[in-house]
Structure 1
């Protein structure tokens, strides 16, 4: 159904699995006052919906259910939806990021905007995916602050002492604007069928809140308006990207208090985990105590570890670029973008700390980092072969690519290399079949495990699919 009608779903969220099958949550959105969805029918019986929230004139419902390994899917409101339920053999995983643009995203032509989603849907029809990993910027909420007196000037002009009534009105405004964007994405043609059949696991990045959240001046982010913005973004992230509310946080995230929303899920032979790089971020840190406690206590199991880092962990010497650009007055407005990166001067100690943790996990199994954020496709390696860590970047499933000249210039800069940990140099590599380090095309990534071996393929808007890259 059309997003403007207030209908969306079902949208599947992955809760976990064991030898008997998979645990899932299906979220359905209806206009306030509309009839709720019917019972969800699976092999284990009928499951009634639970009202999660009423917000922005919408009712958000959830069915919690499980599918046995021998079941093919579920039925809801007269429609059958197939789901991959065997996760212990050959499986496929899709990875996407950057699903939108900063300006005018609601007004884009749907077919153009969702071209790569349609290709992902077609690929799923050919060989079904068991899981959809979403690596950040699932919506672009940058324009959500527009149209309200308290936030119209965000982030340059922020009122000092807004009244409680005005803040409540701002909250309602932001809830409507965020919900509008989520429904546009979740009900879009080319996306909706995928979301109904492929369970998602998502991590957020700045545009899910606002451009540069955490790297902006703290006079903005810690203001009453900034805190209202973050609270609404967090509420909507939980609701639409995890099918959850605060009551579900202890069961779904590594920090039961919810100060950091990093998560971990285990599949047969695989550990999937994602640090939350936004909830505790400020200009001088990427994560706080809750985030670091979760990372440093994480003990992976299985034969392969996939880490989802919303901002690329392995990257070029952006600290050098940061120094050069800050010396040029006309370029200083890029400071927030550069400070967002692990490689920023402000975060270099934390960068080493995270790299050391990933190396620790590498002792147990091969580690592959999945990332987005840069609107380009690329890959990177760190370290000698004995402790090799790979990073695969797929960024821009709907965000249009920057100019090719930008990608070429960044590739030349990346040739300088970096080695934040002695003996573990980082090298930016071309994709299989490509000459240059960065590809300026919209893209998504697929991961296939066949006979116990993982391989990755990038799907590029104009160049097509790359040859597979072995990961083990």
Structure 2
């Protein structure tokens, strides 16, 4: 196994645990060499002493928890450096949304300035006008290659042993943990990412590549095998440690299920709710969410919320009639390898009833609160948007920003999806879906790397996409 060189110290990487009593409850994450200690974080409320979260062969992950005010800009200090945090959630504010921070093959070998070019753009945009929070909508890490190099998982998911020994599985678990560490440490050490994430609290939601390509849409014989379950357990532990700065027995209060059977969460701030159901933990080939995820969504639908709801759906909630493409793939043998990619989508024929249930829930949620809802998604490596009329003058706006590091697919794929969108889609016949153009763009799907800016000014929300070649779009009023 070839080992990458770990940076001496990675961090602080800032995460929002929750918003309570006018305070941002924050965690700062650090990855340091095994045996090294981490100085305390100097916050307005006093020093915060880090605790160790996870141990690896060559490194330890540490976390310090502290609070900052949620009604004004503030700062904290660590190891001689002062970090300014925009922090004010009470009035005008800006949020950044990113997804797909990597690629399936060779991501660790890419040249840094090319790979992180859009992170550099996002850093410059923050320096121009700061972001209060950063939302990460899935595929924060591309873990597809972590299974390579171990005899139990090297051919995953095509060929796997049926009855490996306990000792062999323990060895696989150790191997995978070290590989996940290497990937997260490399991503978090990138200068553009590290600078930004030390100053803008992050909220993260996982998708399939945080585990492996197509997790939950693969055959049951793969995901429920001993190797599959070991892979999921390690990916889940890594997600909690590196994307939430926590462990199973210490989930922040924003998580709906303290036991962690699903990892959906909600944050309620002044005039803003950010709602992030977990679309992976309970996923199977026949369902996207299980009982826990649906219980969370039904409970949120009973809350009266003032302001605006941002619904993070790691795969787009609105889109073209992909079920037609899915049916075509079944009869073309060389296309069948893409089946799990389409089965991942809400629009899959396997998830049609569940998709309707989610759209009905969103409609009822909007009608209860009397305000539009904005869904933000990644996953497809393109920029696009769609609108669903919810009735009574209310709308569901779907904004897709993907990816921040994943290179764009061919422009022909964007044109094909644009043509497919002309067919329309109406899972709820009284609420048709329209795929719309981004402001100032000629096509419905834009094949450029991108991120999304969400801006609230005087209570009104707008959205802008920063497209790698085309630049910042005009503002879309939500």
Asked if TM exceeds 0.5, the reply is yes
The change in CA–CA distance for 1:6 and 1:150 in structure 2 (over 3 A counts) is: farther
Question: Cα distance, 1:145 vs. partner?
Answer: 0.2
Residue equivalent to 1:447: 454
The change in CA–CA distance for 1:332 and 1:204 in structure 2 (over 3 A counts) is: same
Structure 1 residue matching 2:192: 3-state secondary structure: coil
Residue equivalent to 1:46: 47
Matches of 1:40 and 1:6, distance apart in 2: 18
Residue equivalent to 2:400: 393
Give CA deviations for 1:291-341 in whole Å, capped at 9, x if unaligned.
Answer: 111111112512100000000010111111111111111211111111111
Give CA deviations for 1:251-304 in whole Å, capped at 9, x if unaligned.
Answer: 341122211101000111000011100001111111111111111111251210
* Unmatched runs of 5 consecutive residues or more in structure 1: none
Alignment of 1:21-420 (within 5 A): 21-34=23-36, 36-68=37-69, 69-70=71-72, 72-249=74-251, 251-298=253-300, 299=303, 301-363=305-367, 364=369, 365-383=371-389, 386-420=393-427
- The answer to whether the 8 Å contact 2:95/2:135 transfers is yes
Return structure 1 stretches of 4+ with deviation > 4 angstroms.
Answer: none
Matches of 1:3 and 1:360, distance apart in 2: 51
- The answer to whether the 8 Å contact 1:6/1:58 transfers is no
- The answer to whether the 8 Å contact 1:3/1:183 transfers is no
Bigger mean CA deviation after superposition, 50-59 or 80-89: 50-59
Structure 2 residue matching 1:456: 3-state secondary structure: strand
* Equivalent position to 1:430, from 427, 430, 437: 437
Instruction: State the superposition RMSD in angstroms.
Output: 1.3
The change in CA–CA distance for 1:271 and 1:143 in structure 2 (over 3 A counts) is: same
Aligned residues: 469
Give CA deviations for 1:353-403 in whole Å, capped at 9, x if unaligned.
Answer: 110111111111210000000000000001256121100000010000001
Structure 1 residue matching 2:198: 3-state secondary structure: helix
Matches of 2:8 and 2:209, distance apart in 1: 23
Question: Cα distance, 1:43 vs. partner?
Answer: 1.6
- TM-score (normalizing by structure 2): 0.96
Structure 1 residue matching 2:135: 3-state secondary structure: strand
Question: Cα distance, 1:17 vs. partner?
Answer: 2.4
Structure 2 residue matching 1:191: 3-state secondary structure: helix
Question: Cα distance, 1:56 vs. partner?
Answer: 4.3
